[in-house]
Amino acid sequence: MTIRNVLTKIWLIAHREMHMFSRRPMFLFSMFIVPVTSIILFTTVMGDGLPVNLPAGLVDEDNTTVSRSLVRTLDAMAETELVARYPSFHEAREAMQKGEIYAFFHIPKGTMAKALSQRHPSISFYTNETYFLPSAMLMKEMYLSSEMISISVNRSMMTAKGNTMKRAMAATQPIVLETHPLGNPWINYAILLCNVILPGVLILCILLSTAYTIGMEWKMETHLDLYRMGNQNTAIILLGKLLPQTLLYMLIFLFMDVYLYKILCYPCHCAFVNMVLTGWLTVFAAQGMAIFIFAVFPGMMRFSMSVCALIGVVSMSISGYSFPTLAMDEYLQYVVNIFPLRHYYLIYVNQALNGYSIVYVWANVAALMVLMLLPVLVLKRYNRIFTDYSYRP
């Protein structure tokens, strides 16, 4: 076949595919509306970057200047809002069990007196770890507040004994700590999560739509017509069949990158085109994986979609952004490499957040290319699938 004949065949199959889209509006809805809505929804929900004004409680049984200073310090922090004061520990615990507050601070009676007499008083804070993120953030701020008050008390005691402020500060805090969070100095959760969850949602949609659109030919018993239309060339058939949705997902990835890096001004310390090309390569890798999965389970559209859904959902947990890969079991550290989202995430961190050379993630780029080329291994098998297999629910 000449190149012109090949392109004509691909165009005819792509036109046939677009006609099938027009008869299935829900399929088009899941391919376009769901990803775009997810992009806008997630970025809007996480628009503040960090949760703020998390409800917390206070049990102040001491009611002294030190305890009041601690309360003011804690309430001034952006992530904490003291919504209630409780007369006893038991009432605060009940409020936390009811879900009214995420944490509470307990200052026992005699705290100030014990501090002045150097009897090492203790103050306590309790967090509800069933709500992990808000509890962890409140614990961090409560711990910081208690440390600041401890330093303040020690400093006041030393100045009362005649020491200068400089000497008192040197004694109470001999080492000054400096923190430098690299890549995301704002500690903005949206920058981390949106740049991984949104590609994860897109990869899930790509996997499902690819397996669905191929499997529908067997379900509708039109696979032999398609086989003849493609002149019994499976490469031409797959290229033409997936061309419309490939272009659509490439546009969605482009929209996501423009929306995140140009409109919302998320950090992108590399050339913008690098992230666009990474997204497009991820599209090809996800489609290649779905084509390969359907070849492993020929004619089984539902089972293939289930496997694709499993891969898409699990990749959001195992890709390394929520739980470090190096802390996983050793065999899982190898398994994660079959997930396209894992490689997209590492390239994103290397390029957009850190601005390093692409040389440092060449293995991840190569892995996406390998996933993209998986269909080459099963092209001959697709000839048998078209001729010998029927739909199996």
- Which CATH number characterizes residue 156's domain? 3.40.1710.10
Within a domain: residue 197? yes
User: Within 13 Å, how many C-alpha atoms sit on residue 300's CB side?
Assistant: 12
Taking the model in full, what pTM does it have? 0.85
Within a domain: residue 178? no
Structure confidence by residue, pLDDT tens digits, 109-130: 887 777 777 777 888 889 988 8
Residues 246, 153: one domain?
no
**Parallel, antiparallel, or unpaired for β 124-127 and 103-107?**
antiparallel
Structure confidence by residue, pLDDT tens digits, 163-185: 777 777 777 777 777 777 777 77
Residues 258, 160: one domain?
no
pLDDT on residue 95: 92
Between the two ends of the chain, the Cα-to-Cα distance in Å is: 36
How does 43-67 read in b/e, with b if 16+ C-beta sit within 10 Å? beebeeeeeeebbbbbbbebebebb
Residues 232-242, mean pLDDT to the nearest whole number: 93
Residue that is last in its domain, among 115, 137, 172: 172
Confidence of residue 203 (pLDDT cuts 50, 70, 90): very high
Residues 117, 156: one domain?
yes
Residues 24, 73: one domain?
no
Within a domain: residue 328? yes
Q: Residue 324 above 80 pLDDT? A: yes
Residue that is last in its domain, among 172, 196, 224: 172
Residues 151, 222: one domain?
no
Separation between Cα atoms, residue 181 and residue 267, nearest integer Å: 14
Residues 122, 231: one domain?
no
Residues 202, 312: one domain?
yes
Q: Residue 273 above 90 pLDDT? A: yes
pLDDT on residue 175: 76
Phi, psi of 326 (to 5 degrees): -65, -20
pLDDT on residue 392: 84
DSSP 3-state assignment of 269?
A: coil
Structure confidence by residue, pLDDT tens digits, 31-68: 889 999 999 998 988 877 777 788 999 898 888 877 77
pLDDT on residue 294: 95
Separation between Cα atoms, residue 24 and residue 223, nearest integer Å: 18
Q: Is 102 or 49 the better-scoring residue by pLDDT? A: 102
Structure confidence by residue, pLDDT tens digits, 192-201: 889 999 999 9
Residues 39, 73: one domain?
no
Within a domain: residue 180? no
Confidence of residue 1 (pLDDT cuts 50, 70, 90): low
pLDDT, the chain, mean: 88
Residues 152, 198: one domain?
no
- Tally of structural domains, the chain: 2
Burial of 265 (0-12, 13-18, 19+ CB in 10 A): exposed
Residue that is last in its domain, among 172, 199, 229: 172
Within a domain: residue 183? no
Within a domain: residue 182? no
Residues 237, 383: one domain?
yes
How does 111-135 read in b/e, with b if 16+ C-beta sit within 10 Å? bbeebeeeeebebebbbbeeeeebb
Separation between Cα atoms, residue 7 and residue 9, nearest integer Å: 5
Confidence of residue 189 (pLDDT cuts 50, 70, 90): confident
Separation between Cα atoms, residue 283 and residue 360, nearest integer Å: 22
Q: Residue 158 above 90 pLDDT? A: no
pLDDT on residue 103: 92
Residues 37, 67: one domain?
no
Q: Residue 13 above 70 pLDDT? A: yes
pLDDT cut 70: percent of the chain above it = 100
CB atoms within 10 A of CB 89: 15
Within a domain: residue 111? yes
Within a domain: residue 106? yes
Residues 161, 206: one domain?
no
Q: Which domain holds residue 223?
A: 3-47+188-388
